[in-house]
């Protein structure tokens, strides 16, 4: 662990980062400063140019650290975060290592190593399953604390809405600044999932353990939940966007927020 963290510190000192668009080059300190200021959109799509032979040393140490979760033939990492945030299935070790360096620039090496150690030890990740609802309006926040279910509104300010929507905002970019999403009801449900690392390939989705609403629900479907709300409100309530909200995890997975568009009133 200490050797990997030392190599990550060295990589941050020597790596050149490129912001989304490929024109602006910056240092790890610049990336960290942007992250701490809350400029997530600027740091979510960065790319790292790690010098040789440091890159090979880092990949070798990453393989040693995650030896139980790297396929010895394909050199791919079993990464279960795809079931939370989407993204690449079993990324190549080289690709994963570059993502880790970018994540270290955002979060800092100490926090990143803490996450890697927790996940390799089997600790689940906590996140919220969120959806913007169409077909209803709310006048006040509704909350079931024990179940971890929260019904609020997307802020009417574009600047404030960024903090509650996916960090990438790719699916929401055309809607920002319009009345389509801003001010709409926002449903959040507490969830957790494990394992994060596994020995690839893994073919059965049933091998992942999900906990919904702090264990109060045996399973969860946003569509079924909204159908129940529709019956209770005598209306038609639909989840027009649904995604996993985990800002810190998005900093590790390069920000693929797992957003899904739904049919209905845009």
91, 120, 149 - which closes a domain: 120
One DSSP character per residue, the chain reads -HHHHHHHHHHHHH-EEE-TTS--EE-HHHHHHHHHTT-HHHHTT-EEEPPTTHHHHHHHHHHHHTGGGB-TTT-BBEETTHHHH---SS-BHHHHHHHHHHHHHHH-HHHHHHHHHHHHTTPPEEEEEEEEEES---SS-EEETTTTEEEEE--SSHHHHTTTS-SS-TTTTTTTTSTTTTT-EEEEEEEEEE-SEE-S----GGGSEEEEGGGTBSS--HHHHHHHHHHHHTS--EEEEEEEE-HHHHHHTTT----EE-SS--
My answer on whether 174 and 200 are in the same domain is yes
Q: How confident is the model at residue 29 (pLDDT cuts 50, 70, 90)?
A: very high
Residue 86 lies in a domain: yes
My answer on whether 116 and 130 are in the same domain is no
Number of independent structural domains in the chain: 2
95, 120, 145 - which closes a domain: 120
My answer on whether 65 and 130 are in the same domain is no
33 Cβ neighbours under 8 A, 6+ residues apart: none
**Domain span including residue 187:** 126-261
Residue 218 lies in a domain: yes
**Structure confidence by residue, pLDDT tens digits, 109-149:** 999 999 999 999 999 999 999 999 999 888 889 899 899 99
> pTM for this one?
0.83
Q: How confident is the model at residue 89 (pLDDT cuts 50, 70, 90)?
A: confident
Provide mean pLDDT across the span 182-189: 92
My answer on whether 15 and 51 are in the same domain is yes
My answer on whether 213 and 94 are in the same domain is no
My answer on whether 27 and 147 are in the same domain is no
My answer on whether 133 and 216 are in the same domain is yes
Provide mean pLDDT across the span 213-237: 90
Residue 61 lies in a domain: yes
pLDDT at residue number 205: 58
My answer on whether 133 and 200 are in the same domain is yes
Residue 266 lies in a domain: no
Q: How confident is the model at residue 261 (pLDDT cuts 50, 70, 90)?
A: very low
My answer on whether 96 and 19 are in the same domain is yes
Residue 162 lies in a domain: yes
120, 145, 174 - which closes a domain: 120
Residue 186 lies in a domain: yes
**Structure confidence by residue, pLDDT tens digits, 186-221:** 999 999 999 999 988 776 555 788 899 999 988 888
**Which residue would you say has higher pLDDT here, 27 or 40?**
27
My answer on whether 115 and 137 are in the same domain is no
Residue 143 lies in a domain: yes
Structural tokens at position 27: 């240092």
Q: How confident is the model at residue 265 (pLDDT cuts 50, 70, 90)?
A: very low
My answer on whether 101 and 186 are in the same domain is no
My answer on whether 140 and 87 are in the same domain is no
- Rounded CA-CA distance 5/2 in Å is 5
Residue 223 lies in a domain: yes
Structural tokens at position 128: 């919220």
């Amino acid at each position: 662990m200490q050797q990997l963290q030392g190599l990550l510190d060295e990589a941050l000192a020597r790596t050149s980062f490129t912001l989304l668009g490929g024109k602006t080059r910056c240092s790890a300190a610049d990336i960290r400063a942007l992250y701490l200021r809350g400029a997530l959109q600027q740091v979510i799509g960065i790319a790292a140019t790690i010098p040789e032979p440091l890159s090979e040393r880092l990949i070798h140490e990453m393989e040693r650290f995650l030896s139980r979760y790297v396929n010895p033939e394909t050199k791919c990492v079993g990464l279960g975060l795809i079931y939370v945030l989407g993204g690449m299935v079993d990324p190549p070790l080289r690709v994963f290592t570059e993502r880790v360096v970018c994540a270290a620039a955002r979060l800092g090496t100490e926090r990143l190593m803490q996450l890697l150690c927790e996940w390799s030890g089997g600790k689940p990740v906590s996140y919220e399953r969120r959806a913007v609802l169409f077909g209803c309006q709310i006048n006040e926040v509704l909350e079931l604390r024990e179940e971890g279910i929260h019904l609020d509104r997307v802020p009417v300010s574009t600047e404030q809405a960024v903090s509650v929507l996916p960090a990438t905002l790719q699916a929401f970019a055309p809607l920002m600044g319009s009345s389509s999403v801003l001010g709409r009801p926002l449903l959040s449900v507490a969830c957790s999932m494990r394992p994060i690392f596994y020995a690839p390939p893994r073919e059965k989705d049933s091998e992942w353990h999900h906990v919904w609403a702090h264990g109060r629900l045996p399973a969860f479907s946003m569509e079924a939940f909204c159908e129940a709300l529709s019956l209770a409100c005598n209306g038609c309530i639909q989840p027009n966007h649904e995604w996993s909200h985990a800002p810190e995890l998005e900093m590790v997975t390069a920000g693929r927020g797992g957003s899904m568009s739904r049919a209905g009133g845009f």
